[in-house]
Structure 1
C-alpha cells in the first residue's frame, strides 16, 4: 500500500507539472506575429452607408486576405488577419453566445475563417474581459468558457483580449482565467493581452511582467498608436526608456507589443517609415499593419517585403535590441541574432536612429557592443541589401544619420 501511495503521489505531481506547463507555454508565437489588424485604421467602422471607405465588414476582411495572399505579403511572413472591436451584435443569442453583426458579416465568422484558412493564412478576433468591450459591445465577463469555445469553433488562431472597464484586481485574475479556458478548447490560439497597459496607464501601478509573460503570448505595454509621427516617436521612446525592465520577459512565445504599424496612412515620410519599421524589427516586435491595403505606397510595400529587414525581426532567437545613447541624440540599437559562424559567433544588427530634426554624424566601434569574432565582420546595408565593407572589432565606424531617419546594418562574422 505504501508503494501504491508513493506512485500515486508521484503521478499527481507529474500531472500537476504537465498541466502547469501546458498553461504557461502553449507552444505558439515562437516568432513575433505578423499580419493585419483592423483597429488602427478602420476603428469602429459600423456606419458603412455614410463612410464606406472605413467600413468594417466581411468584404473588407476577405479583400485584405486576397491582397496579402496575392501580392507577396504572405511569403514575407504576414499571415494573421485580425478583426478588432465592433464586429458583433449588441446582444448575445438565446444560448449566451456572441453573434457576428448580421448586416456587416452576413455569412458569419466561420465562413470568414474558412476563407482565410483556404489561403494558408490565419484568422484573429477580439474581445474584452469586462462586461462590455471598449466600444460597448458584449464583453466576455461571465462568459469566458462559452466565448473561448465559440472562438475555437469558429476556427480562430489569434485572440486579442482588451481590458477596458475592468478593475485592477479583476484584470490580474481575468487574464489568467481566460487563458485557461482557451487552453481547454485544445485549439492553438495565440493569446494577446492588453493587461500591462491597463495596470500602468489606467490603474497607475507597476505591471507584474513575470506573471503576465507566464500567461500571455504577447501583451500591449503602451498607449494605442495613433496615425502620426509623434505617436511613433513616443512609442519608441517608451521602449527605449523601459528596456531594462521589459526586455527580461521578451522572447519566443512571449512578446512586448508596441501596437500596429501605421503604414498606408500617408502621415509618415519615407525616412520616418524606415525608422518605424526598423525599430520594430530590432525590438522583435509583432508587425501588424492597420490600413487600407490599397493605400500602401510603392516604397512602403518595398520596405515590408525587404526580407533582410524582416529576417532581423523574425530571428528565432527573439532578442529585443538594446538601446545605447550616442552623441547628438542618436540612439544605437544593437541586436544579436542568427546566423552564427561555427556555432560560436553570432551576427549582429545595428540601427542608428535619429528622431530629431537635423542630421547628425556619430562614430562607434563594433567591438564595444558584444561582437567577438577576431576575424572581423562583413557589413551589409539592410535597406539596399548591398555589402559595404569588412570591419574588425576595433575599427571606428562613422555614420551620418539624416533627420528623422535610420541607418541600419547587419554584420556577419567572417
Structure 2
C-alpha cells in the first residue's frame, strides 16, 4: 500500500465490483463473482516500477507456475503517472519508466494470458503524491479502459475539504462507481472491477455490497505474525458480510516477503483463502523461496477460495483460549468452519507461542450433522486421515500454525456409539427427560 500522509488514519481498502445495475444494489451478473487471484507491485517495489519490471514479473508468474495455479491478473499500484495532468486534464504514464505507453504494456500482459489492473485515488492526489481522480472520475475511467485496464484500485488520500466534497465516504466512492457504471453502459464493454481503499473506520462491510464486490477491512498487512493475527481477529467479527457479491479484502499476501516462519506463512495464506479474501501476491517473485511458492500454489486451499457453489467465508464456532466473541489482536479465534461444494471446511489456528493440541466436537460446527461419521482430508499434507466420530483432536499444532481440514460424510456413526449426545446441553429423551453426561 502507498505511504500515508501524516495525520491520516491507517489505510483500509476494498475491492468493489461496479456494473450496470442500480448503484443501491449489490451487483449479481457474475463478473467479479469470485475473489481475485492477482499480483500487485506495491509491497515488493513501492514506487520503483517500470514497464520492464511489470513484464518480467508477469513472466515469473508464468514460469513459477502461479498462472497455472490461477493467478491471472497483474496490477500496478501507485507512482506510475506523470506528476501533472496534460493540458486537457488527462492522466499520463511516466514517459521515462513507461516510455512505450500503457496500451503496449496491457497488450503484453494480455498476450501472456493476464488481465491488467491500475491504481488511482478518490482525493486530490494519490498517497504518493501523484494526480488523484477527484473531479476527473469520468475522464479517468474512460482513460483506464482505453489503455486496456479492467481493474481499478482506488485509494483514499488527500481528501478535499468538506465544503468542497459535500459527501461522506460512501458518496465519495460512489462518484467513481457511477463513472464506471456509466462507462460500461455507454460502451457496452464489461465493467471495470473497482478496488476501494477506504481505511475501515467507516465500516465498508456494512455498505460495500451496495456499490460493488469487495472491500478492505483492516490496516495494511506487514510480514509479521502480529499483523496477520490482528487482521484475522478483526475479520472474525464480520464474516457474515462475505458472499459472491461482497468480499472482505484482508490486504495483500506477504508469503515469503519477510521473516515469518513457514507455519506462520501457512496460517496467513490459509486464513486469507478460506475467509474468501482476494488473494493478491505482494512478494518479490525473483527472490521467493520454494516453500513459500508452494504455499501460494496449494490447489486444495485455492479451491475453497474459488468455490463456485459457496461464496461465504469460514466463521469461528469457538474462540478457544479466549471466551467467545472476545476481540484480541494477538490471540484471535482458533476454531473455524464453513461450507464448500466438497464438504465442511475447518481451520484450526494455534495462536500460542508453543505447540498445542486442539480438540473440538464435530457438531460445534453448524455445518456438521449429528449421528454421522466423517472422512477427514488434510488440505496441507494432501492426505486422507481416516474418519472422525463425534470429535476430532489435532496433536502438536505448531506455534502460530494452522490445520486445514475438509470433512465429508462417511455414513452413520457405528451402532452403539456413546454417549447418546456428543454435546450434552439440552439432550433429551422422547418423554422429555433430560439426559445427563
Confirm or deny a common fold (TM above 0.5): yes
Q: What is the aligned counterpart of 1:35 among 38, 54, 58?
A: 38
Equivalent residue number for residue 399 of structure 2: 403
Equivalent residue number for residue 412 of structure 1: 408
Q: Could you tell me how far apart the structure 1 residues matched to 2:204 and 2:168 are?
A: 14
Partner of 2:391, secondary structure, is coil
Equivalent residue number for residue 337 of structure 1: 340
Aligned-residue offset at 1:21: 7.1
Equivalent residue number for residue 311 of structure 1: 303
Aligned-residue offset at 1:71: 2.5
Equivalent residue number for residue 277 of structure 1: 269
Aligned-residue offset at 1:402: 1.2
Q: Could you tell me how far apart the structure 2 residues matched to 1:308 and 1:165 are?
A: 42
Aligned-residue offset at 1:216: 2.4
Does residue 379 of structure 2 align to residue 385 of structure 1? no
Q: Could you tell me how far apart the structure 2 residues matched to 1:159 and 1:191 are?
A: 5
Does residue 220 of structure 2 align to residue 228 of structure 1? no
Equivalent residue number for residue 101 of structure 1: 94
Q: What is the aligned counterpart of 1:20 among 19, 22, 35?
A: 22
Q: Could you tell me how far apart the structure 2 residues matched to 1:130 and 1:318 are?
A: 32
Aligned-residue offset at 1:305: 1.3
Q: Is the 8 A contact 1:353 1:405 kept in 2?
A: yes
Equivalent residue number for residue 178 of structure 1: 176
Aligned-residue offset at 1:362: 2.3
Q: Is the 8 A contact 2:35 2:247 kept in 1?
A: yes
Residues 178, 250 of structure 1: CA spacing in aligned structure 2 closer, same or farther, 3 A cutoff?
same
Q: Could you tell me how far apart the structure 1 residues matched to 2:409 and 2:335 are?
A: 20
Aligned-residue offset at 1:76: 1.2
Residues 210, 357 of structure 1: CA spacing in aligned structure 2 closer, same or farther, 3 A cutoff?
closer
Q: Is the 8 A contact 1:125 1:158 kept in 2?
A: yes
Q: What is the aligned counterpart of 2:191 among 180, 188, 191?
A: 188
| Mapping for residues 52-131 of structure 1, pairs under 5 Å | 56-131=49-124
Aligned-residue offset at 1:279: 0.8
Does residue 319 of structure 2 align to residue 325 of structure 1? yes
Equivalent residue number for residue 16 of structure 2: none
Q: Could you tell me how far apart the structure 2 residues matched to 1:29 and 1:90 are?
A: 32
Partner of 1:86, secondary structure, is coil
Q: Relative contact order, CA 8 A, sep 6+: which one is greater?
A: 2
Larger deviation, residues 159-168 vs 264-273: 159-168
Q: What is the aligned counterpart of 2:240 among 241, 245, 248?
A: 248
Q: Could you tell me how far apart the structure 2 residues matched to 1:38 and 1:398 are?
A: 38
Equivalent residue number for residue 280 of structure 2: 288
Q: Could you tell me how far apart the structure 2 residues matched to 1:33 and 1:377 are?
A: 31
- Structure in which a larger fraction of residues adopt helix: 1
Aligned-residue offset at 1:208: 5.4
Partner of 1:326, secondary structure, is coil
Q: What is the aligned counterpart of 2:256 among 245, 249, 264?
A: 264
Q: Is the 8 A contact 1:322 1:333 kept in 2?
A: yes
Aligned-residue offset at 1:19: 4.7
Equivalent residue number for residue 352 of structure 1: 348
Equivalent residue number for residue 207 of structure 1: 203
Partner of 1:376, secondary structure, is strand
Partner of 2:375, secondary structure, is strand
Q: Could you tell me how far apart the structure 1 residues matched to 2:299 and 2:365 are?
A: 25
Aligned-residue offset at 1:170: 4.6
Residues 322, 22 of structure 1: CA spacing in aligned structure 2 closer, same or farther, 3 A cutoff?
closer
**Structure 2: 5+ residue runs without aligned partners?**
1-19, 185-189, 323-330, 411-437
Partner of 2:93, secondary structure, is coil
Equivalent residue number for residue 47 of structure 2: 44
Q: Could you tell me how far apart the structure 2 residues matched to 1:296 and 1:276 are?
A: 16
Q: Could you tell me how far apart the structure 2 residues matched to 1:68 and 1:109 are?
A: 20
Q: Is the 8 A contact 1:130 1:164 kept in 2?
A: yes
Q: Is the 8 A contact 2:350 2:397 kept in 1?
A: yes
Aligned-residue offset at 1:373: 6.9
Residues 398, 85 of structure 1: CA spacing in aligned structure 2 closer, same or farther, 3 A cutoff?
closer
**Structure 1: 5+ residue runs without aligned partners?**
1-17, 46-55, 201-205, 340-346
Q: Is the 8 A contact 1:373 1:413 kept in 2?
A: no
Equivalent residue number for residue 344 of structure 1: none
Kindly provide the CA deviation profile for residues 321-352 of structure 1, in whole angstroms up to 9, marking residues without a partner as x. 1122124867012121112xxxxxxx111111
Kindly provide the CA deviation profile for residues 133-168 of structure 1, in whole angstroms up to 9, marking residues without a partner as x. 111100001100100000011111211001112268
Partner of 1:20, secondary structure, is coil
Aligned-residue offset at 1:398: 4.3
User: What TM-score results when the alignment is normalised by the length of structure 1?
Assistant: 0.84
Q: Could you tell me how far apart the structure 2 residues matched to 1:154 and 1:170 are?
A: 30
Partner of 1:41, secondary structure, is helix
**What is the CA RMSD across the aligned residues, in angstroms?**
2.0
User: What TM-score results when the alignment is normalised by the length of structure 2?
Assistant: 0.80
Q: Is the 8 A contact 1:218 1:254 kept in 2?
A: yes
Aligned-residue offset at 1:228: 2.4
Equivalent residue number for residue 239 of structure 1: 235
Aligned-residue offset at 1:363: 1.1
